[in-house]
Every structure is written in C-alpha cells, then in structure tokens.
Amino acid sequence: MQLKRVVVTGMGALTPIGNDVSTYWTNLLAGVSGAAPITHFDASKFKTRFACEVKGFDVDNFIDKKESRKMDPFTHYGIVSADEAIKDAGLDSDTVDKDRIGVIFGSGIGGIKVFQEEITSYNQGDGTPRFNPFFIPKMIIDIVPGHISMRYGFRGPNFAVVSACATGNNALIDAFNYVRLGMANAIVCGGTESAITPAGVGGFNACRAMSERNDNPTTASRPFDKERDGFVLGEGAGCIILEEYEHAKARGAKIYCEMCGGGASADAYHLTAPHPEGLGVINVLKNVLQDAHMQPSEIDYINVHGTSTPVGDPAELKAIQHVFGESAYKLNISSTKSMTGHLLGAAGAIEGIAAVMSLVHQIVPPTINFNTPDEAIDQKLNLTVNKAQKRQINAVISNTFGFGGHNASVLFRKI
C-alpha cells in the first residue's frame, strides 16, 4: 500500500521557560534558563535543591476545579498542552470526523506525586486502608489520553506510550504510523511529566544522575561543557498534532512542516548508562534516515538528547559522527535541555516543537552554558554554543534516549 504523507498542523507547550509555544520559542532563542531553587517542596536536605519548574501556572484557569482535583499535575500539564495544540490546529471544530481523530500521549513516570502522597498517608495511619477513590485514575499514565479524548470527543486510537525519556518521540512515531497507514485522519500526540517531588528528586539523586550545582542553578545544565555534572530535572508537557496531508489541505489547515521519519532501537546494554560505543544511537539514526528515505547530507540540524551527563553527551556525538561522517561538520547541533532541563517523558514532545519551529523560522536555538571545551568532544562540530544561529534548514532530526536503553528519533522536513 502507498503510505500517506503526514504533516504537523498544531502545537502546544507548557514548559519551564514558557507556558505556550510562542513564549517557549522566544525564550529558547534568547537562551533563557528555567532552572531555579525548588518551590514544590522543601528540598533543603536533598543533594540537588533546584530544578526547572513550570512557573506562573494556575490549573484553575484551564480545568474546572472539581475535575482538576481528580488529576495529578502530570495530567493537568498534558491537557493544557493539548488544548493549545488542538485549538492551533482547528481540531476543536464540529466539522471534523471525531471517529478518525486519536490521542497518543505518554509519560515516563506518571502520577508520582499522588502515589507518594497516598502511600505516605497510609503508612502514617493506623493501618486502616483509606485511599482516595481517584488514586488509581490519578496515577496511571494512560489517563492523560483518556482525559483528552473525553474532553474533545475524539474516538480514534487512544493509548499511552512509556519508554522513559524516549517516551515523547515514541508517541510521535506511533501517531505518525497510524496516520500514514490510513488508520486515523489526525492524532493528538505528545508527552507530559511532573516528577519534581521528593521521590523524583531523591530517586535521581540516588542514581547520581543530576547536577548538584546548587550555588548557581541557571548554569547547571551545560551539555558538552567539560564541567558538566549531570542533568537538571524539568517538568511540563508538549503536544503536536500529526495529520494526513490531504485531509489537512482539504480543511484549509495551517501546515507547519512534514514529519517523514521515525526510528527506534535498543542499546541492550545497561539499566541507566548509554552504550559506550553508542551502538543504539548509531542504529536509531540509521533507522530514522532510512525510514525518511534521506541521506545524512540532507540533514541540517539535530536537536540532540544532550542531557549534560559526563558519559552521555560524548557518546551521542560520537554516534552522530559515525553515521554522518564528514556531513557531521556541516550540521548544527544543539541541546535545548540546557535551558528547559530534562522533562523526561515530555522531552521529545517539547524538543519536537523546537525542531519544527527551527524549520519554520530558519534558526537554530542555542546550547547555553558552554564555557570549557571537553577534550572528549570534537570541537570542530558546530554545537551552536550560547547563541542562536540563523541558517537554511530543510530537515531536522530530534533525538531522545531513555533509561533501559530505549532510543527514538524523529525527522521533520520543510514542506
């Protein structure tokens, strides 16, 4: 069968540096850091006492108070990002066939806040099982696409994706496949996360994965810099509407760009560490290029996973060099996690939005906080350090990798 073309017709974002797509993009180009001392709980006894929190967000402005109480914050974030994307795409119209619109949304962790609160309450009690009747629906990851579908009456494919920090891209890839196979006219897809909790911060501290640069949080996320000491935890959500090209044209939808490839692979190596030779990343990059029927020389920009960990950053760049060869030196490479922190299951969604916006505006957002070159990294690579760079951009790849060795990459092309 002939696969259908898939385009982006709407986007929504709730991030540590902007509560909508426009603000998020403006602050990305300006190199604004979202890192600051944690306000969600008293983190004074934790090794890491800062994070990239969503700021100035009042859920009551978006969701009825009675309903919002039945949800964990990760669900709030997912719904709000979807609201913006659906409105942007015009899918809230009664003229669309809602039987042919699906929702595929994921999270790396899900309702960790409500889980911690309910278990703590039980353990502090007398052993009598008193749990909130919405405990399970508030916690489970698949509740987000469920809520979005009920909010809009979308009756197409509906499920959640979970692959740790690769979740956002895996949701995009699944949505891409449903649309290009003709199984849906459009899919509301993305990722959401709200893990800045005592359990979330404490757990990642125990893994020794996060930066402990408490004296200067805004400079803590520093991908590729020699002094990097771990990632900065972020929160928020991103949503992208993927739609069949002819369907979008027929209804006069605004088209941002085309999604033309998705790749996935596994490291099959370690619970939390990347493969030292980058084998999984090499495979996922080959896979996404093959799926899009494109050559390395046709790619202009890669929004890398680039979490600011000592091992992960050079491994990803070496894999890019392996696959791209001399074309690697013609690329712009940047890590927007230097500004947003790491949104875990939502990372691929907001970074996918950054990739799309780079195509639309022909400019690459920077990697901020780069001061000291690392001898383990080839300095001839263009890491787009500290300032955005204008250039001609026809095709962009966005990478995401997750604990468990999950790798997922997506490819967008100017239309």
Separation CA 347–CA 231 (nearest Å): 12
Say which residues have a Cβ less than 8 Å from residue 94's Cβ, sequence separation at least 6. none
Catalytic residue among 147, 247, 275, 342: 342
208: left (phi over 0), alpha (psi -120 to 50) or beta: left
**Long-range contacts, stretch 324-329, CB < 8 angstroms, 24+ apart:** 324/285, 324/296, 324/299, 325/296, 327/296, 327/297, 327/299, 328/296, 328/381, 329/380, 329/381, 329/382
Q: Around 42, how many Cα atoms within 13 Å sit in the side-chain half-sphere?
A: 2
165 is catalytic: yes
Q: Rounded to an integer, what is the distance from CA 124 to the centroid of its chain?
A: 36
β-strand partners of 259:
6, 412
How long is the chain? 415
3-state helix, strand, coil in the chain (%, to 5): 35, 20, 40
305 is catalytic: yes
Six-digit token string for 301:
């920009």
293 is catalytic: no
CB contact burial 352-365 (16+ within 10 A = b; e otherwise): bbbbbbbbbeebbb
- Give counts: helices (H), strands (E), the chain: 13, 14
Q: Rounded to an integer, what is the distance from CA 12 to the centroid of its chain?
A: 12
β-strand partners of 402:
406
As to burial, measured by CB atoms within 10 angstroms (0-12 exposed, 13-18 middle, 19+ buried), residue 122 is middle
Catalytic residue among 247, 275, 305, 406: 305
Helices (H), 33-165: 65-68, 73-89, 112-124, 135-139, 143-152
For the beta carbon of residue 181, count every other beta carbon within 10 angstroms.
11
Catalytic residue among 52, 165, 239, 257: 165
Task: List residues with catalytic annotation.
Answer: 165, 305, 342
